[in-house]
């Protein structure tokens, strides 16, 4: 039940929230369809008042939906367990939902790149609202057929994946390049605020009535659909820069090639390859650090209070980092920010192995969550300037899917390592891997700055 348009690290309430909103300004080489010159700055021609209005609406859509998704996402496993489902069955439902998201996202990105971005987003949000309303009514009636519940959740997850894929690139189409870092930081702040408030509100609503969190999620989708529908900016690149419409009788191979065009672009573009590797590695390692921290606290007998404290401190630090990112990162080269942040993350990660109580774990993990928005905001702003308009959604979907998959696999690997080597050793290994990520960023960054006018790392 993730929020639309984001790729969270999978640690509840913390870590890297990477809103990958690829956009436009220059051609990146031969692609699967013609790109005529460098893409015009579509958003720069929009009146400033309209830009501010549309960005407020887009922020409201994302934040409200993230809040609703966090409320229902917390209580769905509790509901399934209360209905007599086993943890294995709950995990299977989560796995099927994740698979639906991974499969449908790249295909939903194709019509978005062709100019149907707003239609896909509004339609997907309304379908998700209908599905969650069905869940709320079923739970309210008292008799909840398992097949109906799972079917409704699958419909919601499928529609959400379509919304997320279509929303990628919206920032580049709505606001001018000078505002990208500020807008991206506020979008991250809204989502991080939802990560902090959503689970608490969901728990309170669940106690008042098991159906209420799902009704709240349905209403959040309605608000998101209304906000997107009210946008005045055309959420499509110029017609001559869109991918050509395919024949209705195309083969599945042609459809798959068009959906995978973002992969081809990432293979050609060094900055996108660096972004893919860095986001995936940091997402996975932060998720592993969080769950290993939970394992360490459980070994110390802290109960639920310890992880709750870590969660609260990490969420607050992540929110502060997102709000401070434009001021701290400034106009510095994104590659330089990436290198500096990568190295600054290593000491607190290593210090986690020596932590002995929840406050120490929380402060160290909070420091990690404070640092990551500085790099992600700068990196996303640069990504917006690299990807041509007709590949925004498809390329962003690849980046978001890869980083999300890394975060999804990390908890299982962290649990296996903690069982065999212990939490302290696992934390040290994660810190060493973060140092390897920093070394790779340091090695790759100078090559990316040559000929771009960027400040060398």
| Tens-place pLDDT, residues 290-312 | 888 888 887 777 666 777 788 77
Give the pLDDT band (50/70/90) at residue 330: low
Residue of higher predicted confidence among 275 and 391: 275
Percentages of the chain per state (helix, strand, coil), in multiples of 5 = 75, 0, 25
Q: Roughly what angle, to the nearest 10 degrees, separates helices 87-111 and 117-141? A: 160
pTM for the complete prediction? 0.72
Q: What is the largest CA-CA distance in the chain?
A: 65
Taking the C-alpha atoms of residue 290 and residue 427, their distance in angstroms, rounded to an integer, is: 9
Q: Which two tokens stand for residue 416?
A: 């296996």
**If 0-12 CB within 10 Å is exposed, 13-18 middle and 19+ buried, where does residue 247 land?**
exposed
Buried b / exposed e along 307-332 (16+ C-beta atoms within 10 A): bbbbbbbbbbbbbbbbbbbbebbeee
Question: How does pLDDT run across 39-96, given as a tens digit for each residue?
Answer: 334 455 567 788 889 889 999 998 998 898 888 887 887 788 777 777 667 767 776 7
- Please report which residue ranges of 83-116 form alpha helices under DSSP H: 87-111
- Could you give the C-alpha distances from 86 to 89, 355, 415, in angstroms and in order? 5, 34, 20
Mean pLDDT of 332-341: 88
Are the C-beta atoms of residues 397 and 165 closer than 8 Å to each other?
yes
More confident of the two residues 389 and 10: 389
pLDDT score recorded for residue 247: 52
Supply angle C-alpha 39, 42, 47, rounded to 5. 160
- Mean pLDDT estimate for the chain: 78
Any residues with CB less than 8 A from the CB of 381 and at least 6 apart, and which?
A: 177, 180, 181, 184, 334
pLDDT of residue 225: 95
**Among 114, 120, 79, 332, residue whose Cα is nearest residue 209:** 79
Who's near 142: CB < 8 A, 6+ residues apart?
Answer: none
pLDDT of 174 reads 82
Collapsed DSSP state (helix, strand, coil) of residue 315:
helix
**Of 386 and 105, which is predicted with more confidence?**
386
Average pLDDT over residues 245-269: 71
- Statement: residue 415 has pLDDT above 60: yes
Radius of gyration of the chain (CA): 21
Q: What is the pLDDT of residue 303?
A: 64
In whole angstroms, what is the distance from residue 274 CA to residue 334 CA?
A: 12
- pLDDT at position 341 over 90: yes
Residue predicted with more confidence, 31 or 270: 270
- Mean pLDDT value across residues 406-434: 89
Per-residue confidence band for 281, with pLDDT thresholds at 50, 70 and 90: very high
Residue 410 in contact with residue 288, Cβ under 8 Å? yes
User: Helices in 142-179 by DSSP H: which ranges?
Assistant: 146-167, 170-174
Give the integer Cα–Cα distance in Å for 435 and 429. 10
Do the Cβ atoms of 174 and 237 come closer than 8 Å? Answer: no
Give the DSSP letter of residue 112.
I
CA distances from 431 to 66, 230, 274, 283, 289 (A): 30, 46, 20, 13, 9
Under DSSP, is residue 36 helix (H, G, I), strand (E, B) or coil? coil
| Rounded distance between C-alpha atoms, residue 145 and residue 114, angstroms | 39
Instruction: Please work out, in degrees rounded to the nearest 5, the angle formed at the alpha carbon of residue 353 by the alpha carbons of 350 and 356.
Output: 135
Across 343-348, average pLDDT? 96
Sign of CA dihedral 447, 448, 452, 457: negative
Q: 240 or 284, which is more confident? A: 284
| pLDDT score, position 241 | 55
| pLDDT of 285 over the 60 cut | yes
pLDDT of 8 over the 50 cut:
no
Rounded Cα distance, 105 and 112, in Å:
11
Q: In the structure, what pLDDT confidence band is assigned to residue 3 with cuts at 50, 70 and 90? A: very low
The least confident of 107-111, 275-279, 340-344 is 107-111
Average pLDDT over residues 419-423: 89
Tokens 């709505």 correspond to 174
* Gap between the Cα atoms of 121 and 380, Å rounded: 21
Q: Which helix (H) or strand (E) holds 200?
A: helix 180-208
Question: Who wins on pLDDT, 167 or 217?
Answer: 217
Q: What is the pLDDT of residues 178-224, one digit of tens each?
A: 788 888 888 888 888 888 888 888 888 888 888 999 999 999 999 99
């Amino acid at each position: 039940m993730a929020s639309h348009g984001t790729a969270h690290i999978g640690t509840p309430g913390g870590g890297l929230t990477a809103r990958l909103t690829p956009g436009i300004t220059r051609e990146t080489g031969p692609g699967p369809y013609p790109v005529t010159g460098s893409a015009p700055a579509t958003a720069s021609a929009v009146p400033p008042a309209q830009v501010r209005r549309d960005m407020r609406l887009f922020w409201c859509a994302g934040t409200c939906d993230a809040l609703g998704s966090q409320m229902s996402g917390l209580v769905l496993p509790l509901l399934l367990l209360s209905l007599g489902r086993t943890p294995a069955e709950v995990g299977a439902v989560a796995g099927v939902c994740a698979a639906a998201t991974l499969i449908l996202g790249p295909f939903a990105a194709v019509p978005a790149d062709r100019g149907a971005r707003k239609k896909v987003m509004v339609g997907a949000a309304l379908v998700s609202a209908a599905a969650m309303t069905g869940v709320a009514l079923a739970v309210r009636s008292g008799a909840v057929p398992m097949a109906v519940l799972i079917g409704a959740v699958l419909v919601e997850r499928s529609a959400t994946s379509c919304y997320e894929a279509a929303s990628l690139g919206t920032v580049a189409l709505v606001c001018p390049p000078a505002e990208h870092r500020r807008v991206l930081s506020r979008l991250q702040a809204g989502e991080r605020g939802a990560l902090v408030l959503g689970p608490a509100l969901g728990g309170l609503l669940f106690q008042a009535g098991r159906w209420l969190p799902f009704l709240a999620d349905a209403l959040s989708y309605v608000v998101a659909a209304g906000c997107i529908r009210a946008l005045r900016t055309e959420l499509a690149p110029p017609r001559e820069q869109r991918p050509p419409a395919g024949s209705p009788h195309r083969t599945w191979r042609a459809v798959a090639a068009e959906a995978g065009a973002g992969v081809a672009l990432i293979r050609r573009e060094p900055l996108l390859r660096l972004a893919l590797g860095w986001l995936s590695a940091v997402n996975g390692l932060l998720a592993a650090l969080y769950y290993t921290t939970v394992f360490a606290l459980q070994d110390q007998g802290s109960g639920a209070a310890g992880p709750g404290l870590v969660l609260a401190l990490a969420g607050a630090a992540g929110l502060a980092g997102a709000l401070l990112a434009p001021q701290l990162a400034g106009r510095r080269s994104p590659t330089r920010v990436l290198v500096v942040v990568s190295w600054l993350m290593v000491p607190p990660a290593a210090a986690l192995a020596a932590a002995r109580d929840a406050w120490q774990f929380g402060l160290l993990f909070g420091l990690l969550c404070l640092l990551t928005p500085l790099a992600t905001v700068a990196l996303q702003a640069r990504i917006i300037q690299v990807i041509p308009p007709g590949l925004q959604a498809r390329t962003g979907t690849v980046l978001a899917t890869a980083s999300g998959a890394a975060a999804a696999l990390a908890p299982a690997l962290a649990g296996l390592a903690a069982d065999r080597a212990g939490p302290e050793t696992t934390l040290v290994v994660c810190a060493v891997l973060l140092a390897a990520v920093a070394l790779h960023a340091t090695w790759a960054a100078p090559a990316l700055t040559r000929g771009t006018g960027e400040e060398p790392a």
